C-alpha cells in the first residue's frame, strides 16, 4: 500500500499523527510505504519520522521539493494555502515510475479503520477516486462546468498512476489551472474537478469525512448537490456512524486550543503515540471557538441560513489565511 503526503516542517506533527493512525489501524497490511513530498523538512524531523516508521516495520521515502517553479512555469496564487499542496499535481514527475497506484492524504486527516477496502476499490475506467463536498457553492460548480458531476474534495485521492501517466492527466490539470491564470478559489482542488470531472470515481464520504456532515441534514446536502445526484441516505448514515478517514477541514482543528470537534479526541489519542506528543496546542483560537459554538447552537434549526452565512464569510477567512501565510514567510 503506497501512501503520499505533502507537507512542510511546521505540519510534521499532524502528518506523523495520521501516519500513526494508519499503522495502528492497518496492522495486518505487511507492506505500507509512506512517501513524503516535503518543503524544507528539518533533518531532525526526517530522522524522527524514519525511526517512528521503522518502529512499525514499515517504509518511508522523502522527496524534496523546495521550488515548485521547476515544474510550474506560470504564476499562481494558492489563496492562503501553502504552495506545497500543489505537489499532488506532479505525481507523474515526483513518484517512482514503477508505482501503479497511490493513496494521497492531506496532512489534516486521520485514519480510523483498515484501508484495505479503499485500496482495493475497482475504479472501473476512471483514473482518480474522490469523495463529495456538497457545500461548495452552485456558482463555483457552474464556473467549473461540473454539470451533473458531484464536486469532490481533494483531501483524499486514490489514483491509478498508470492511467494518470497514460492519459497525461497532470498536464491537463496544470493547463486548466494556467487557463484560469493560476487563480482558482480552491486552487488545485478546483483544477482537478474542472479538468478531470469525467475521470472521477465518487467515493463514499466515509473515506473523506468532515464536520459538515454533523451540521447539515441529508435533505439539505441533497439539495445543495443539485443538479448532481447526491449519495443515498443509508450511505451517509453509515459514513457518520463509521468514518474511515476523518478530514479536519475548516478552522475547527483538534490541535487548536478550545476546539470542540466531535472527533478531536481521536486525533489526540494518536498524537500521544508519536514522538510529537508534547507539541503544544495552537493558541489564540479560544474566543473564535466560543463564538462558533454559539453560532452553531443558534443556527441548528436553520441549516440553509447557516449555509448562506458561512458561504458569505469564507472569502474573508481566505483573505485572513492569506495574510497569515505571507506574514509567516517574512
Give 258-262 contacts, CB < 8 A, sequence gap 24+: 258/285, 258/286, 258/288, 258/289, 258/290, 259/285, 259/289, 260/289, 260/293, 261/211, 262/211, 262/214
What are phi and psi for residue 262, nearest 5 degrees? -60, -25
* Per-domain residue ranges of the chain: 2-329
The 10s digit of each residue's pLDDT in 87-137 is 888 888 899 999 999 999 999 999 999 999 999 999 999 999 999 999 999
Q: What is the pLDDT of residues 238-282, one digit of tens each?
A: 999 999 999 999 889 999 999 999 999 999 999 999 999 999 999
Closest CA to 78 of 43, 39, 48: 39
Q: How many residues does the chain have?
A: 330
Q: What is the pLDDT of residues 161-192, one digit of tens each?
A: 999 999 999 999 989 988 887 678 888 899 99
What cell was used for 238? 453509515
Q: Is the pTM of this model over 0.85?
A: yes
Question: Of the candidates 243, 248, 163, 234, which has an alpha carbon nearest to the alpha carbon of residue 200?
Answer: 163
pLDDT of 328 reads 58
Instruction: Decide: 153 and 118 in contact? Cβ < 8 Å.
Output: no
| DSSP 8-state class, residue 120 | T
User: Using an 8 Å Cβ cutoff, are 206 and 237 in contact?
Assistant: no
CATH number, domain 2-329, options 3.90.550.10, 3.70.10.10, 3.30.470.20, 3.90.79.10: 3.90.550.10
Task: Indicate the DSSP class of residue 231.
Answer: P
Q: What is the distance between the alpha carbons of residues 188 and 186, in angstroms, rounded to a whole number?
A: 6
List, in sequence order, the alpha helices (H) in the chain. Answer: 12-25, 43-55, 91-94, 116-119, 138-143, 161-166, 169-179, 187-196, 212-215, 218-225, 233-241, 264-271, 286-299, 303-329
Amino acid at each position: 500500500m503506497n501512501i503520499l503526503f505533502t507537507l512542510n516542517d511546521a505540519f510534521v506533527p499532524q502528518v506523523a499523527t495520521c501516519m500513526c493512525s494508519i499503522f495502528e489501524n492497518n496492522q495486518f497490511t505487511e507492506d505500507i510505504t509512506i512517501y513524503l513530498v516535503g518543503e524544507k523538512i528539518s533533518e531532525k524531523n526526517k530522522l524522527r519520522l524514519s525511526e517512528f516508521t521503522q518502529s512499525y516495520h514499515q517504509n518511508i521515502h522523502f522527496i524534496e521539493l523546495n521550488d515548485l517553479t521547476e515544474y510550474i512555469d506560470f504564476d499562481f496564487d494558492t489563496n492562503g494555502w501553502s504552495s506545497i499542496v500543489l505537489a499532488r499535481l506532479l505525481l507523474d514527475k515526483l513518484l517512482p515510475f514503477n508505482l501503479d497506484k497511490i493513496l494521497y492524504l492531506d496532512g489534516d486527516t486521520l485514519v480510523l479503520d483498515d484501508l484495505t477496502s479503499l485500496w482495493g476499490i475497482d475504479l472501473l475506467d476512471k483514473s482518480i477516486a474522490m469523495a463529495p463536498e456538497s457545500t461548495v457553492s452552485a456558482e463555483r460548480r457552474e464556473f467549473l462546468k461540473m454539470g451533473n458531476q458531484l464536486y469532490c474534495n481533494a483531501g483524499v485521492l486514490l489514483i491509478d498512476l498508470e492511467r494518470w501517466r497514460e492519459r497525461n492527466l497532470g498536464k491537463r490539470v496544470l493547463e486548466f489551472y494556467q487557463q484560469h491564470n493560476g487563480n482558482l478559489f480552491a486552487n488545485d482542488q478546483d483544477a482537478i474537478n474542472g479538468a478531470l470531472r469525467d475521470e472521477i470515481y465518487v467515493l463514499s464520504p466515509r473515506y473523506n469525512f468532515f464536520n459538515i456532515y454533523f451540521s447539515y441534514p441529508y435533505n439539505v446536502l441533497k439539495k445543495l448537490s443539485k443538479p448532481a445526484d447526491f449519495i443515498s441516505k443509508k450511505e451517509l448514515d453509515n459514513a457518520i456512524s463509521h468514518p474511515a478517514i476523518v478530514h479536519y477541514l475548516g478552522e475547527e482543528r483538534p490541535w487548536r486550543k478550545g476546539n470542540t470537534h466531535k472527533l478531536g479526541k481521536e486525533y489526540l489519542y494518536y498524537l500521544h503515540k508519536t514522538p510529537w506528543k508534547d507539541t503544544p496546542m495552537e493558541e489564540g483560537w479560544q474566543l473564535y471557538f466560543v463564538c462558533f459554538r454559539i453560532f452553531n447552537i443558534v443556527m441548528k434549526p436553520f441549516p440553509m441560513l447557516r449555509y448562506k452565512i458561512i458561504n458569505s464569510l469564507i472569502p474573508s477567512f481566505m483573505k485572513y489565511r492569506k495574510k497569515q501565510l505571507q506574514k509567516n514567510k517574512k
